[in-house]
Amino acid sequence: MKNQYIDGPLLMKMFVNAANTLDNNREAIDSLNVFPVPDGDTGTNMSLTMFSAVEELNRLKEVTVGSVAEAVASGSLMGARGNSGVILSQLFRGFAAKLKNLRNVDTVQFAHALAEGVDTAYKAVMKPTEGTILTVARETAEKAVRISSEVKDFNKFIEEILLQSTSTLEKTSQMLKVLAQAGVVDAGGKGFVYILLGLLKTLKGEDIKLNGKNRLTAVATEELDEELYLEYPYCTEFIIKNPKGTPEQLKELLSGLGDSTLVVGDGRVIKVHIHTDRPNKVMEEGLRLGELSRIKIENMKEQHRSIIEDEIKEEQKAKDYGIISVSMGDGFSNLFKDLGVDVVIHGGQTMNPSTQDIVKAVDSLNAENIIVLPNNSNIILAANQARELSSKNVYVVPSKTIPQGISAMVAFNSMQSAEDNFREMTEALERVKTGQVTYAVRDSVFDGIEIKEGDIIGIGEGKIKNKGDNISDVAFELVKTLIDDDSEVITVFYGQEVDEDDAYSLEERISEEYKDCDVEVHYGGQPVYYYVFAVE
């Protein structure tokens, strides 16, 4: 049976299956990291972005092609994480714009919607790079437009553009030198291919279920609130990052507190959904396992849209500045607070905050000017997207590393104008060099350095500089590559897995070698990286 038209319910199911297909292959996408280090997060970011879209779909009252596309666009926009997630949200934004008010869609309309999505995504990126998800999406859309007038059957149509996307994906490893060196294809492009695969499987009658143990964030595709009980009027949802326990343990804690309970996740994130009459008790139990985020409490009878902001905040005069910083590790977070940061968003490598996370942080501040420090190159796009969504005066200082963020905060002067602060904080980014020490998760070759899985590697200014089998030795040699005649201060930040004594031993070794430099040691508490260095 041919599918010449797609209606709203079918398109909705296609996107749900696409999200599930993407999440089931999330770890494979994460492993396509350019550097062989354990911080790959493209699959995770794209999956969380897609699930935000599906969450929005579940709120739809009228299901048409236009409303489904708009829900996917708005959900992914607010839930976008990392560069790949932001680009994906922009693809959906353009896609939705072309399908507005449509109840059904044919292949010609679908193709032109894809093309509009690509155009929107390219415009959203300041310097579009070929060999990425942008290229895969563009060539896929171009193929879609070429064949749409002749290929009217959606099964055949999606098959053809899926073949094109797969072919383009394979070419990405030749289009970017870093991908060729790593021996991988573009991770974002791979995620895009899995999304198309999910669409096709739906048309073929398959129902894609989430893999049990690999679940990151599960969103129920059925109506969770099909039956509303007065004794459980509050739909309560939240996410626990870096949980101290398992979904099963939390589910046990929540037993008896409500119904329609959904508690799923993995070692990094747990997603909770429950209908309850005691939301405070539910959150109290959740806090046993870790910090709560993306909290949402709604009265299902719509007597109150939310009880999160129930208490009336006392009117107060807005202060001149509010500063938001993304940070990983307790030590770094405390340092940012000491430097004057108002809101610290916990995130970074492997857990990028979403656009919505940043918007919420901006909304929480009563300030004339708000400065955002992303402190990660993969968060800058989401921060800029949050700035565009906010009605407040927001400045995004494009810090790509934690040391750059610290340098920017040191340059901040509350007595200066916002424009002067933005300029000087941005200039301060160039005055610090960043080094990181971690371990390799696969064999690879970079710039002539042959790396084996398990090797300790030093990364300086975004490039692999050295390797070895001893953490302190690799760290010491890495510092040598960062030092020049202008260097005055070397700051050592040690992570979760480094003993304090080892960190101070390294400090002594560096101080002995560079007597003209001041050497400082601080606890960063960062995961993944044994050491982070700032050289100024």
User: Are both 64 and 196 inside the same structural domain?
Assistant: yes
Residues 145 and 124 in one domain: yes
What is the rounded average pLDDT of the residues 515-519? 89
The answer to whether residue 172 is domain-embedded is: yes
Residue type, 14: M
Classified as helix, coil or strand, 80 is coil
**From CA 459, how far away is CA 349, in angstroms rounded?**
14
Cα 89 from Cα 217, distance rounded (Å): 18
What is the predicted pLDDT for the residue at 214?
Answer: 47
The total number of structural domains in the chain stands at 4
Q: Are residues 275 and 326 in the same domain?
A: no
Rounded average pLDDT over 382-404: 94
Query: pLDDT tens for residues 238-258?
Result: 888 888 888 778 888 888 888
Query: From CA 27, how far away is CA 190, in angstroms rounded?
Result: 12
Q: Whole-angstrom Cα distance, residue 423 to residue 402? A: 18
Q: Which of 410, 398, 403 shows the shortest CA–CA distance to 435? A: 403
Between 158 and 301, residue with greater pLDDT:
158
Q: Is 124 helix (H, G, I), strand (E, B) or coil?
A: helix
| 208 in a structural domain | no
Q: In what order do the strands lie in the sheet with 489-494?
A: 463-468, 456-460, 433-439, 531-535, 489-494, 518-523
Return the closest-CA partner of residue 57 out of 234, 212, 220: 220
Residue 23 belongs to domain spanning = 6-203
Output 47 or 41, whichever has higher pLDDT: 47
For the chain, what percent of residues have pLDDT higher than 70?
90
Q: Give Cβ neighbours of residue 279 (< 8 Å, ≥ 6 apart).
A: 234, 236, 297, 307
Task: Round the average pLDDT of the chain to a whole number and report it.
Answer: 86
Residues 452 and 413 in one domain: no
Which pLDDT does position 260 carry in this prediction?
64
Distance CA 275, CA 262 (A): 10
pLDDT of the residue at 223 = 29
pLDDT at 189 over 70: yes
Q: Is residue 136 part of a domain?
A: yes
3 state SS of 71: helix
Give the span between the Cα atoms of 331 and 253, in whole angstroms.
Answer: 31
Q: Is the pLDDT of residue 315 over 80?
A: no
Give yes or no: residues 271 and 346 share one domain.
no
Q: Tell me: pLDDT of 276 over 60.
A: yes
Residue 311 above 50 pLDDT? no
* CATH at 397: 3.40.50.510
pLDDT at 219 over 70: no
Closest Cα partner for 137 from 108, 174, 98, 166?
166
Q: What is the pLDDT of residues 331-385, one digit of tens each?
A: 999 999 988 899 999 887 667 899 999 999 999 999 999 999 999 999 999 999 9
